[in-house]
Amino acid sequence: MNNKKKNEGQTDFSYYGLYLLDYLRTNKFEQATDTAFIRERADRAAETYEKARLSRRWRARAGDGHAAARAALFPVRHSP
């Protein structure tokens, strides 16, 4: 199967960038074409994961790092 068309226009994103891009495309969010938005969120998620990995909690619960990183990708917005 040829994946060229599927990957056309896709820039080189990190794991978290690709995860977010897939989510945005699947749910038809307008930010799916905003590479700056995706990179900023992906960078924040990677930093969050790294902080969790280096903390003492990491040793007790390794899954917390990925959960925290996903939370950084999709921050909850509270209405005023």
CA distance 32 to 12: 14
Q: Which residue's structure tokens are 């074409």?
A: 33
- Amino acid at site 74: F
For the question of whether the overall pTM of this predicted structure is more than 0.95, the answer is no
- Nearest-CA neighbor of 46 among 21, 72, 64? 72
pLDDT of residue 79 exceeding 50: no
pLDDT band of residue 66 (cuts 50, 70, 90) is confident
For residue 72, give both structure tokens: 């950084």
pLDDT tier for residue 9 given thresholds of 50, 70 and 90: low
